[in-house]
A and B are shown apart, each in its own frame.
Chain A
Amino acid sequence: MTVWLVAREDFKRSFSPRMLVVLGVVAVLFLIVAGCLFGAQLYGGGRVYGAEEQFNVARAASYHMAVGWGLLFAIMLAMGAASRPLEDGRAQFLLTKPVRRSHVLLGQLVGVFLSALAAAAALAALASALSLIRAHVFPWTLWLGLAVASLALALVVALVAFFSLFLPRVVAAMLGIIFYLASFPAAFGAVRDFMTGGYRDAGLQFPWYVRWGAEVYFAAAPPIAGVQLRAGELVRLKAWGVDGWLTVATAAAYVVVFFVAAWALYSRRDV
């Protein structure tokens, strides 16, 4: 109950008038790009795409734009979600009530997560409206993909909040963006296979630190882009095998690990 109360308050605070203006600008830009995608003639492989192909491309692109924006929004909010209240007295207000510290932290992170999800969902809703108008089809897989990709949002929120508890907020946000971008190579099996041994078949040799670095990176990289791309396969109705479930399970484990790490820091902090 208290988790929900804290989350709800933080959710409401996320959509300040200034933030609503930013959201409005992003929505307009999205409408322009997605509107073109849903309406324009697309070419590929030396031919014009058919209506269904065009719809699939527009839907997948909308999905990635919505999730990308959601991730960016999550990073923006998460950098101050737990650390700022510790400094500005809001944590003091909350922690003098009969509320456990873990519940306060969880509430703050859930609030950010829901805000980021709402920001992504707003774009998905616009894409759905465009799809209905242009193609007379409701893109339900877009929403399915978004639901799965919400795990990537949760992962980014937990990760950035954790870093923000012992690093300056801007650095924590930068690390969130770096982790997100750096997680893309790990999301592609071909890259992983090449960097963890496949390079030998191509007659290449890497120094030991590159080999070890690659092993550690591919073993430990938080699957932020991994979840986004795997969920993107759902959007395009591609087969979802063990790999997809494994990515989701790994991401869920990372969310738990980063939350517990953040809680370990938060619970020891003087307010």
Chain B
Amino acid sequence: MASVLEVVDLTKKFGGVTAVDELSFAVAPGEVFGFLGRNGAGKTTTIKVALDLVKPTGGEVRVFGEDWREPELRRRVGYLPEFPVRYPDLTPRRYILFAARLFGLARDEAARRTDELIKKVELEDAADRQMGGFSKGMLQRVGLAQALVNEPDLLFLDEPTAGLDPLGHHLVKELVRDYAARGKAVVVSSHILAEIEAQCSRVAIIDEGRLVAEGELAELLKPTNVVEVEVEGPAAAAREAFAKVSSAVDATGNRFVLTLLPGKEASDVSKAAASAACVVTALTTRRQSLEDLFVAVVKRSGEAPPA
């Protein structure tokens, strides 16, 4: 399937500082793509280049297969910046309406869409108040609404949950899920790794502007030597049998968390359970968390000599 976003050998230098260094990745339709990196790793710069806000030093970006600099392409693109709203004298309603009109929506359609989005981001009570006194979370909701006003096929969310309360987090999660379900692509740049892990199907991790890991989460997050097992049968016997295959056994009733000895696998756990006259009802191998992966690849990248 053709990519909605294709970044090819992208380089951006600010004076002598290389913010993005020959970065390449692609995002497919219907994909929720996590874009991770430390502060200053080049995430926002990359997104800004894709939106033609920042001019690249080298490389190119293709959006829906076309040159990213074409303004008409942005009719199908939504963007929630890290600091979303800079019109303190406008009300959310006027701000979203303004965005809708800039996207070329007719007056009535723009007004209808504005009402719809105000409801969606749960800002009905504040819709006609000037945004000057709004909290970060409220501004984030307004920013989210303006990013969705054109029902984009490609949505960039830069730190979408910054400043949001738990309900706001939930709202963003629902929106992202809804968008992906409708075959639209979402690029989420965030520091909140648990959130990325829960929402994204694929991730790219960049460090100092360079791509250090990219792929499906399921592939990137390697299995660990920790196994969770649930058995039916005598728990004490099971514990004794599991101690032979693992270095640590953590038991809660008939549920065990085992740290396997080197060379032991999940099948050895089943065999051990059988030897204790127990039936395994559930067995899962714990995978590495995104945080573990992130820390590992970023550390590795920091240790590697510069190319």
Contacts and interface: CB of A to CB of B under 8 A. Distances in A.
A93 to B, nearest CB: 7
Interface residues of B, number: 26
B54 interface: yes
B54 A270 contact: yes
Nearest to A95: B53
Given A5-B101, A89-B83, A98 B54 contact: no
Given A89-B81, A90-B86, A90-B87, A99 B102 contact: yes
Contacts of A97: 74, 99, 102-103
Among B51, B75, B98, residue most surrounded by chain A Cβ atoms (within 10 Å): B98
Chain A interface size range: 20 to 34
Given A5-B101, A92-B81, A16 B89 contact: yes
Contacts of A268: 55
A69 B142 CA distance: 38
Contact of B86 (A1, A6, A88, A100): A88
Contacts of B101: 5
Contact of B53 (A9, A88, A96): A96
Nearest to B80: A96
B85 to A, nearest CB: 8
Nearest to A268: B55
A99 B103 CA distance: 8
26 contacts: A1-B104, A6-B102, A9-B98, A88-B86, A89-B81, A89-B83, A89-B86, A92-B53, A92-B86, A93-B86, A93-B87, A93-B99, A95-B51, A95-B53, A96-B51, A96-B53, A96-B77, A96-B79, A97-B74, A97-B102, A97-B103, A98-B71, A98-B75, A270-B48, A270-B55, A271-B53
Interface of A: 1-2, 5-6, 9, 13, 16, 88-90, 92-100, 268, 270-271
Given A93-B87, A270-B54, 4 more contacts: A9-B98, A96-B77, A97-B99, A99-B74
